[in-house]
Amino acid sequence: MDPLSPLEQALHAARALVLADLVAGDVAQADVVSLVEDSVVQRRWWVEQWPEGAPFVAGLVAQDVQDALLDRYGRWPLCPVCGTGDPHALGVEPELGPDPHWVCSEAGVRVAPVGGLARATGGGPAS
Ligand SMILES: [Zn+2]
């Protein structure tokens, strides 16, 4: 077997990061996982057209899944930072760039890197 190409590595990493955040939010049911797979298929096509975009794939898959979940499940991931006010979802920044993070636009804070929500939501060891 050939070693994984950089594009495949980026896609695998994106899939793993977004799945980790879904598990952290306790929404990783089978139909939700299939949303991730759908996004990875589409982004594979996208990154094949534009290989320089490989570092951006994780943020894009996160946003794809967020959009898809809004129809089926509701807002995801809910902001773990703001204790008051209406529940609201985190956003991905940069929308198209490397090293994507979940951010709360209300509080103006970076909550966690994409793939790191478990630590931000108390799923990991406290610091
Ligand atoms: Zn917030």
Residue 126 in domain:
no
Q: How confident is the model at residue 26 (pLDDT cuts 50, 70, 90)?
A: confident
Calculated CA dihedral for residues 28, 34, 39, 43, nearest 10 degrees = 110
Res 4: pLDDT: 83
What spacing in Å lies between the alpha carbon of 12 and ligand 1's midpoint?
A: 29
Other beta carbons within 10 angstroms of residue 8's beta carbon come to 14
Number of structural domains the chain divides into: 1
Residue 1 in domain:
no
Side chain identity, residue 69: L
Residue 93 in domain:
yes
Half-sphere exposure of 39 (CA within 13 A, CB side): 26
Residue 114 in domain:
yes
Other beta carbons within 10 angstroms of residue 48's beta carbon come to 12
What spacing in Å lies between the alpha carbon of 106 and ligand 1's midpoint?
A: 5
* Four-residue CA torsion sign, 121, 123, 124, 127: positive
pLDDT per residue as tens digits for the range 84-96:
888 999 999 999 9
Q: Is the confidence at residue 126, as pLDDT, over 50?
A: no
> Can you tell me which residue has the tokens 């940069």?
94
What spacing in Å lies between the alpha carbon of 34 and ligand 1's midpoint?
A: 27
Q: Enter the pTM of the model.
A: 0.91
- Residue 96: which domain range? 6-120
What spacing in Å lies between the alpha carbon of 89 and ligand 1's midpoint?
A: 7
What spacing in Å lies between the alpha carbon of 45 and ligand 1's midpoint?
A: 33
